[in-house]
Amino acid sequence: MEPLPPWLMFVALFGAILAGLPVAYSLIVVSLLFGLPLFGSHLGQQFYGRFYEVASNYTLAAVPLFIFMGVMLERSGIAERLFNAMQLWLGRLPGGLAVAVIAMCAIFAASTGIIGAVEVVVGLMAIAPMLRYGYSKDLISGTICAGGSLGTLIPPSVLVVIYAGVGSVSVGDLFAGVLIPGLLTVTLFILYIMLRCWLRPQDGPPLSKSDVEIPLGRKLAVTVSALVPATLLVTAVLGSILAGIASPTEAAAVGALGAMILTMLYGRFNLEILGEVAHKTVTLNAMILLIVVGGMMFSSVFIVGGGNQLVRDIVEAAGLSATAMMMLFLFIIIISGFVLDWVTIVLICIPIFTPMLRDAGVDLVWFAVMAIVAIQTSYLTPPMAPTIFYLRAIAPREISYGHMARGVMPFVGILVIVLVIVGLVPATATYLPFVLFGF
């Protein structure tokens, strides 16, 4: 049986996904169909090697621990405390509630790294008061979706851990590399909201004085009870990685323990909560790692079948410089984000792109940061935008899909601006890794 052209794998994959087959099963089925002519009776042995590679990858061991930390924090009540604190300090600004949502999402994302948990919790708290104050429905939608997507870019991000595992990049370097672009993204999100609501006050009026004027002592108490525990947890997890004290897996274990202790201190911990958190952790981890296995199977079949050489021949035939090649790869990632989830994009594209980028002398940390920013757009771009799906599950009927699709587009534009800035100023991605690790 003659091997099929490797480019047909993508046609088959898109066909399977559009037919409704889950992404993980689509990857595995396509890999089996295209791998059989290549490996014959050794197919099982070949794919067992992929399973073993995932199961024995020490870096990926951090994934379930980060998931546990995020899910436990979701149940701790810290989100409500953070939102109340941000509302008190930022509510009088133009678009104050929306600004509070972005600021709270940034802090919560730094504590969890899980997008769905952040968006659902924040959305359930923020939608009602924003509607009550007459906020534009597309601004409500865009703000909550964009804030929820920050878990991609702000460490500790599960995406960063997965990318580092398949992209030949240190997790510590990548966590340091995404810090400045992450802060830049949050800043630009807030500036956009404030500028829009300053020019069009009806889109996001500030809160009334009576809603935010409370005694200073009480305001400080609310702020300290919300910010100090979250700050200590982020410092313990991220600080230990960046300081070289702990590996990502060890830091994730500290974070998981810290989340449990924080939940106990807030009086929310019991055996029922622990059981629910453990069940959700296992479910999410199994889903992600099954896609990881399927993606590694897919990329290995594609590479062995001549896919790498095919892409290399196309790039060489086009006479692309290193810069043009990076732009092409980033464009492919952004376009893929319209129809594929982030795990699939990372596991299919990065193993193909990385060898060519390395041969061209491209800084892999710099490209990785740009790729992660590009992947973040996949959370916001319809039709397969996970953040919109999360929001649709919790939003009232008066907020339509149209409001959501329109609302996310300015934030997608901001992410493109961040991508351009990182591309033009590589130090935004490479300075902190160099200072901290001297890579």
Sign (positive or negative) of CA dihedral 319, 360, 160, 97: negative
Residue 143 belongs to a domain: yes
Q: Look at residue 148 in the predicted model and tell me its pLDDT.
A: 84
Residue 8 belongs to a domain: no
* Domains: count for the chain: 1
Residue 344 belongs to a domain: yes
Q: Is the peptide bond before 5 cis (omega within 30 degrees of 0)?
A: no
Rounded (10°) angle between helices 427-437 and 364-378: 130
Residue 14 belongs to a domain: no
C-alpha dihedral (228, 231, 236, 238), degrees to nearest 10: 180
d(CA 42, CA 220): 65
Residue 117 belongs to a domain: yes
Q: Look at residue 19 in the predicted model and tell me its pLDDT.
A: 83
Neighbours of 158 (CB within 10 A): 26
Q: Which residue has the tokens 């323990």?
A: 257
Domain of 258 in residue numbering reads as 22-35+42-437
Q: Look at residue 187 in the predicted model and tell me its pLDDT.
A: 96
C-alpha dihedral (329, 335, 339, 345), degrees to nearest 10: 20
Q: Look at residue 167 in the predicted model and tell me its pLDDT.
A: 83
Residue 352 belongs to a domain: yes
Residue 173 belongs to a domain: yes
Residue 89 belongs to a domain: yes
Regions in the chain scoring below 50 on pLDDT: none
Q: Look at residue 221 in the predicted model and tell me its pLDDT.
A: 85
Q: Compute CA distances 284 → 29, 115, 116, whole Å.
A: 21, 12, 11
